[in-house]
Structure 1
Amino acid sequence: MLYYLYSIFGVNIFQYLSFRAGLAFIISFCLCVFLFPKFIIWARNKKASQPISSSLPTHKIKANTPTMGGVVFVSSSVIASILCANFINHYVLFGVFTLILFCLIGVRDDYIKISQKNNQGISAKRKIVLLIIASLILSLCLFLIEHNSNLYLPFIKKPIIDMGCFTIIFWLIVFISSSNAVNITDGLDGLATVPSICAITTLSIFVYFAGNAIFSSYLLLPKTINSGELFIVSLALLGSLFGFLWYNCYPAQVFMGDSGSLALGGFIAYMGIVSNNEILLILVGFIFVIETLSVILQIGSYKIRNKKIFLMAPIHHHFEVKGWSENKIIIRFWIIALLSNLLALLSLKIR
């Protein structure tokens, strides 16, 4: 909306992408800080709390903590994006659509958990079907606007293959993997929030450079025409995540729920695809990868050998059972997330 103050009335400051992105960050942060106390009071009155199924005693005290915080920070991000971004831009539209679509799937899951007072939510089959539908819609949208279908490897400047129409299947897998990975990680206070902030910050830098002809040429990055405007949506989401972290840090006053974790995972996948960094997502979201692998290995080992690898999966619960304090686990995972993203940023120059 503010973008049109420049295009219609000639208010020069609103032509600058960096200014509008910074403004989007501030607006979404302020909205979250303002709305979350009201949401927490409302959720407690409605008993919209996260059902706790874990046998760990440290989790029992969280039984009455409100959930579905993702609705607030996604809404704040969307409002800030509408105010600051150019909505004629395809990448902005699809980015906002990604947040809303994956958030709605999570809302359905959270609502069932709350209403039925159990931690199961919608069935695994129905959930994966909904995620496939959402991922397929977004992948087709990107394919129809002829987004780059080349596959790039980190630290290599030239694409290794043009996937053509098979890129739709590849992007679908990226969306589903990323959304589920963040969802699995969201098990401790702030554990998924800070790695998401790190990942979105890194991908925001890549998107900004990819959408800039000078920077992309200098850094030998694949250029994505008009993608720079997506930087505003990602900064809006970062602002809202910092606002959410204010209430989600240990001890959490509110959980993001599936409405938040699925939206974050879907948007991280979208940013990775737009910036042509699908493979680099392994490093950008390293904590999410570790958490997901721990679950896969645990289930696989139990089915094949009838033995567990970890005391409990996902891996953050393994360390809880070993006696690590929750704060220690969270902060150490944050450190790993920060370091892995610093390594990912090296690929900007080392190509």
Structure 2
Amino acid sequence: MLEQGLLFTLIMSFLITVVLSPLFIPFLRRLKFGQSIRDEGPESHKKKTGTPTMGGLMIILSIVVTTLIMAGVFHSISVEIFLVLLVTLGFGLLGFLDDYIKVAKKRNLGLTSKQKFLGQLVIAAIFYFVLLQTGLNTEIVIPGTGAGIDIGWLYFPLVIIMLVGSSNAVNLTDGLDGLVAGTAAVAFGAFAIVAYASSLYTVSLFSVAIVGAVLGFLVFNAHPAKVFMGDTGSLALGGALAAIAILTKTELLLIIIGGVFVIETLSVIIQVASFKTRGKRVFKMSPLHHHYELSGWSEWRVVVTFWLVGILFAAVGIYLEVWI
């Protein structure tokens, strides 16, 4: 019965996004909610200016509706569901404000970094406080070993680092058509398996709802994209990914399953550090996907390669958590 519920969840969230998109995309276009492209970005991306953004609203709506309906039918609205929806909606709201300022002001910068961080910090603190009321386990487990380390009060800053870091990492990765939608589908699919193996069925159901929603979005976001998810989608997905890792007690596994997002973030850190200390760039452009673009790879080749790398990371993560 539960397996059928997961299948129905996948189908429902996929169909909601696919049905909504043809209605929502023209609406965004009429509102002139078009993407502003960075002047310092690849020249080939200039033609994407004006492509409707804030498509993450469709993803979030599909996730919330599907999760609430299917959790109510096949299980129950648990505290885990409340927590993952809190993070998804909270980070999605931050992303929406960021996107709205961009399109309203016709610039490629929305909220300041301080404003965004403050919002992320507040949501992370609420998330932690609710966890605390439910009997917080401050132990982290080393993947593949079963060995755990109780970090005590340090778990609070870890929660903040995970939620803020993951949301920003997914946001940085969202630079090519279909890149985040595909890699997110793989990562959330892996965590759906991990959650199911840990008997956290509502978390597994939520993860599957996200897989269906982003795959439905990918139908319209694959190259050439008809819509972008914007920060509305990428911040929400990144926050949700970290929340699932925390709830499944696989905090360190997030580094492996979300390996593509980690690499993209590291490429930016390395590029900035190298330029500030040595005056030289390591990559032609960061994040890393732009480096390969400027090296002559087609956008589609970069995206598919990153998808495959994401599948490899996910397989390693599932192996370490489920089969060892």
TM-score range, shorter chain: over 0.9
CA 1:70–1:165: 2 relative to 1, 3 Å? same
Tell me, yes or no, if structure 1 residue 290 matches structure 2 residue 276: no
| Match in the other structure for 1:165 | 153
- Runs of 4 or more consecutive aligned structure 1 residues displaced over 4 Å after TM superposition: none
Instruction: Report the residue type matching 2:96 in the other structure.
Output: V
The partner residue of 2:120 within 111, 114, 131 is 131
Matches within 5 A, 1:81-230: 81-86=67-72, 87-159=76-148, 161-211=149-199, 227-230=200-203
Shift of 1:322: 1.5
CA-based RMSD: 1.3
Shift of 1:191: 0.8
**Structure 1, residues 270-323: CA drift from partner, whole Å, max 9, x if none?**
111111111111110111011000100111111111111111111111111122
Instruction: Report the residue type matching 1:106 in the other structure.
Output: G
Q: Which has the greater radius of gyration?
A: 1
Q: Aligned partners of 2:129 and 2:50: how far apart in 1?
A: 41
Contact 2:140/2:249 (CA < 8 Å) preserved in 1?
Answer: yes
Matches within 5 A, 1:235-250: 235-250=208-223
**Structure 1, residues 96-136: CA drift from partner, whole Å, max 9, x if none?**
12211110010000000100111111111111111111112
Q: Aligned partners of 1:88 and 1:349: how far apart in 2?
A: 25
Shift of 1:349: 4.8
Tell me, yes or no, if structure 1 residue 340 matches structure 2 residue 306: no
Q: Aligned partners of 1:18 and 1:74: how far apart in 2?
A: 23
Q: Aligned partners of 2:225 and 2:266: how far apart in 1?
A: 26
Contact 2:54/2:233 (CA < 8 Å) preserved in 1?
Answer: yes
Contact 1:140/1:168 (CA < 8 Å) preserved in 2?
Answer: no
Tell me, yes or no, if structure 1 residue 272 matches structure 2 residue 245: yes
Instruction: Report the residue type matching 1:138 in the other structure.
Output: F
Instruction: Report the residue type matching 1:187 in the other structure.
Output: G
Contact 1:204/1:271 (CA < 8 Å) preserved in 2?
Answer: no
Q: Aligned partners of 2:150 and 2:2: how far apart in 1?
A: 31
| SS in structure 1 of the partner of residue 238 of structure 2 | helix
Contact 2:143/2:321 (CA < 8 Å) preserved in 1?
Answer: no
Q: TM-score, normalised by structure 1?
A: 0.88
Contact 1:17/1:232 (CA < 8 Å) preserved in 2?
Answer: no
Tell me, yes or no, if structure 1 residue 314 matches structure 2 residue 321: no
Contact 1:143/1:168 (CA < 8 Å) preserved in 2?
Answer: no
Contact 1:113/1:121 (CA < 8 Å) preserved in 2?
Answer: yes
| Number of residue pairs the alignment of both structures matches | 320
Q: Aligned partners of 2:128 and 2:246: how far apart in 1?
A: 9
Q: Aligned partners of 2:273 and 2:43: how far apart in 1?
A: 27
Instruction: Report the residue type matching 1:317 in the other structure.
Output: H
Instruction: Report the residue type matching 2:65 in the other structure.
Output: I
5+ residue gaps, structure 1, are 1-15, 212-226
| Match in the other structure for 2:14 | 29
Q: TM-score, normalised by structure 2?
A: 0.95
5+ residue gaps, structure 2, are none
| SS in structure 2 of the partner of residue 48 of structure 1 | coil
Contact 2:138/2:150 (CA < 8 Å) preserved in 1?
Answer: yes
Shift of 1:350: 5.1
